Structure 1
């Protein structure tokens, strides 16, 4: 078992495009609804490659390996990476309470614990409006939430 780190920053408007943040339904829409068919084709082609954070954390494993920011065998090392990201971005968090160093240390500690039993970790923060930060740690080989997903780095 190992852990991959993912980080995304971008406009909140782009982040809110939920159709591109979830895998397409296995069944396409009826052919008599051309605009739905077209959107389905777009989502089917774009979801696996678009850098937007998926709605389900485990679905990062469907994305290209080039989006991985780091890989760690030990949960503590992965959580330390999370801590470095939070420390780097904390001055830009829109909420003062989210910048609290004790709160951030608790997020890192709970991440190490969750990764230790094979869970995933995902956090999102508003930065300067309208920017959003998404940071995630995904357990791989296998993933508890989606054991059928293949690790992007084999």
Structure 2
């Protein structure tokens, strides 16, 4: 996949896992990093996770924004007090069009954390040395 595109990643888990103790398992140098289901500390490090973690891939920014907004709607029941999360659709399209990542994270009911990510690939602007996980 040589053209700029974005890979979608989701993590929903208990907040304690984020710091179990410490955050070493969220760093690529750690032996548990590849197997750890938790989100990495640096957004670009999603690209180092196994390809099976990729939820979807988008070549068109508007399609990525549709996915992002759709995921927020799908998880709406997890947000306390049913408050509306503004997905900023137009901002998401702008960010993806610029080759940037779109990352969101929210504490949700039950002490859990929801992380939605659209990570730029081929190349990533901060980590251009990272290869596309899908080859």
Whether these two folds match at TM > 0.5 is yes
CA distance in 2, matches of 1:16, 1:80: 31
CA distance in 2, matches of 1:77, 1:49: 29
* Residue aligning to 1:65: 51
Mapping for residues 28-67 of structure 1, pairs under 5 Å: 43=30, 45-67=31-53
Q: Which runs of 5+ in 2 are unaligned?
A: none
With over 3 angstroms needed to count, the CA separation of the structure-2 counterparts of 1:118 and 1:92, relative to structure 1, is: same
With over 3 angstroms needed to count, the CA separation of the structure-2 counterparts of 1:120 and 1:22, relative to structure 1, is: same
Kindly report the root-mean-square deviation, in angstroms, between the aligned alpha carbons of the 2 structures. 1.5
Among candidates 13, 18, 25, match of residue 15 of structure 1: 18
CA distance in 1, matches of 2:69, 2:10: 12
With over 3 angstroms needed to count, the CA separation of the structure-2 counterparts of 1:146 and 1:12, relative to structure 1, is: same
Confirm whether residue 130 of structure 1 aligns to residue 111 of structure 2: yes
CA distance in 1, matches of 2:16, 2:95: 30
SS of corresponding position for 2:96 = helix
Q: How many residues align?
A: 130
4+ residue stretches of structure 1 with deviation over 6 A?
A: none
Among candidates 123, 127, 135, match of residue 146 of structure 1: 127
Contact 2:9 2:118 in 1 (8 A): yes
Confirm whether residue 100 of structure 1 aligns to residue 84 of structure 2: yes
Give the alignment's TM-score, normalised by structure 1.
Answer: 0.78
Q: Which of the two has higher C-alpha Rg?
A: 1
Contact 2:13 2:112 in 1 (8 A): yes
Bigger share in helix:
1
